[in-house]
Amino acid sequence: MTTQAPSSRLLLALAALGAVGVVASYFVTGPERFWANWIVWFLFLFTLALGCLFMVGIEHLVAARWSVPLRRVPERLSTLLLPVVPIGLIALGAVSVLYPGAKPEALQNPLLAGKATWLGLPFFSLRTVLSLALCLWGLRVLVMGSLKQDLTKDPAYNLKARRFAPVFMAIFAVVITLLAYDWVSGLMPEWYSDIFGVYLFAGGFLAALAATVLALSHLQAQGRLTGIRGDHRYNLGAFIFAFTVFWSYIGFAQYMLMWYANLPEEVLWYKIRFEGGWHTLTITLAVIHFVVPFFALVTRDAKSNAARLKWVALLMLGAHYLDLYWMIFPMLGKGVLFSWPEVAFGAFFVAGGLMWARRSMNWGEDMPVGDPFLAKGLEFHL
């Protein structure tokens, strides 16, 4: 406890200072920039936590064995969904400020008038609350049941989780799609992309994999999870490598199709992001979200190298934030904005998220000891 106390106090102080800056930013820089920052961090935490829960669900769906020994790590990280609920409810305050479809003048726009009910605040809020409730249901079944199994050793949990996994996959698809279309493309409701939900999924799942790698590294540095070997890390590295390519493919496919069609209502999204400082940021995003991690993990040995995976994971979390910033902030129409308000939001949410994650790392056993497939997972080798 003594070795952890100073860093705990540091995180608490950082969160407190960040909170002061967050509040000050509303009055100094205005509500639009405040809400843009809030939405970025709401989506960051939501997609990360939901991606971790997806990792748990997909393990049960395909009856994977290799990931059982490290499953407790994404299970614990997925509990970030609990603080995400109030963060998301507060974020609803941004709808009437930033989202054109929820403003009274939307009725004067022929393209928006027909979507007025869907884009309006009441239905928008209902979808958000429903999405959060469905995610909490998934958390209760897939994670809380696993924690109880540590004590009961009842294999019935595995059967229940296996049966629920297909249901959760449907829930996940609906929720991630609503997040993409409501909270991101809703900022420009005239624009749409059929694969935008897949794009957000790819980024969120990458962030979840990165967070899992970092949490696993932290626990092993404390002498915990000693049963996790290089072969387990290799699979995590392989998934990060694969989804780095997948994210890039979806992003490029979306851009290429809109560039080729050259329709005014579609190319406007990219036109904004290829002008001024946004052009540099777009290139930077491509480099750190694809080029660097691709070449860093392209070899077999790199995928199981703990030190390399750690810095790539840190890079991927930073890239996910930059990706969300790139999607949200251009809609303010004020160019690239990054100064003390963004630093304050980062300090508040990063410190708060780390404090929650650290606390959650002590929930239950480090491995799901009640799972009858744990032994096979520990014996896994390539």
Structure-block tokens of residue 269: 């999204």
Is 266 part of a structural domain of the chain? Answer: yes
- Residue 349 in contact with residue 44, Cβ under 8 Å? yes
Is 4 part of a structural domain of the chain? Answer: no
Quote the pLDDT of residue 375: 92
Cα radius of gyration rounded to whole Å, the chain: 21
Quote the pLDDT of residue 110: 78
Quote the pLDDT of residue 264: 79
Quote the pLDDT of residue 350: 96
Give me the number of domains the chain comprises.
1
Spatial neighbors of 17 by CB under 8 A, at least 6 apart, are 344, 347
Tell me, yes or no, if the pTM score tops 0.85: yes
CB count in 10 Å sphere of residue 93: 14
- Per-residue pLDDT tens for 47-82? 999 999 999 999 999 999 999 999 999 999 999 999
**How confident is residue 104, by pLDDT bands cut at 50, 70 and 90?**
confident
Is 2 part of a structural domain of the chain? Answer: no
| Range(s) of the domain holding residue 28 | 11-365+372-378
265-286: average pLDDT: 90
Per DSSP, the chain holds a count of helices (H) and strands (E) of 18, 0
Does residue 335 or residue 278 have the better pLDDT? Answer: 278
Spatial neighbors of 145 by CB under 8 A, at least 6 apart, are 157, 160, 161
Could you give the 3-state DSSP secondary structure of residue 278? Answer: helix
* DSSP letter assigned to residue 359: H
Is 188 part of a structural domain of the chain? Answer: yes
247-264: average pLDDT: 89
89-117: average pLDDT: 85
Quote the pLDDT of residue 3: 43
Is 256 part of a structural domain of the chain? Answer: yes
Quote the pLDDT of residue 263: 81
Q: What percent of the chain has a predicted confidence (pLDDT) above 70?
A: 98
Distance CA 66, CA 141 (A): 21
The yes-or-no verdict on residue 376 having pLDDT over 90 is yes
- Mean residue pLDDT across the chain: 92
Is 1 part of a structural domain of the chain? Answer: no
The yes-or-no verdict on residue 89 having pLDDT over 50 is yes
The yes-or-no verdict on residue 1 having pLDDT over 60 is no
315-322: average pLDDT: 97
The yes-or-no verdict on residue 238 having pLDDT over 80 is yes
Is 138 part of a structural domain of the chain? Answer: yes
- What single string gives the DSSP state of each residue in 8-69? HHHHHHHHHHHHHHHHHHHHHT-HHHHHHHHHHHHHHHHHHHHHHHHHHHHHHHHT-STTGG
The yes-or-no verdict on residue 243 having pLDDT over 90 is yes
Quote the pLDDT of residue 204: 96
The yes-or-no verdict on residue 2 having pLDDT over 60 is no
**How confident is residue 115, by pLDDT bands cut at 50, 70 and 90?**
confident
- What single string gives the DSSP state of each residue in 279-324? HHHHHHHHIIIIIHHHHHS-STGGGG-HHHHHHHHHHHHHHHHHHH
C-alpha distance across the termini of the chain, in Å: 37
271-300: average pLDDT: 94
Q: What percent of the chain has a predicted confidence (pLDDT) above 90?
A: 79
**How confident is residue 381, by pLDDT bands cut at 50, 70 and 90?**
confident
The yes-or-no verdict on residue 5 having pLDDT over 50 is no
Does residue 36 or residue 118 have the better pLDDT? Answer: 36
Quote the pLDDT of residue 262: 83
Is 6 part of a structural domain of the chain? Answer: no
Quote the pLDDT of residue 261: 82
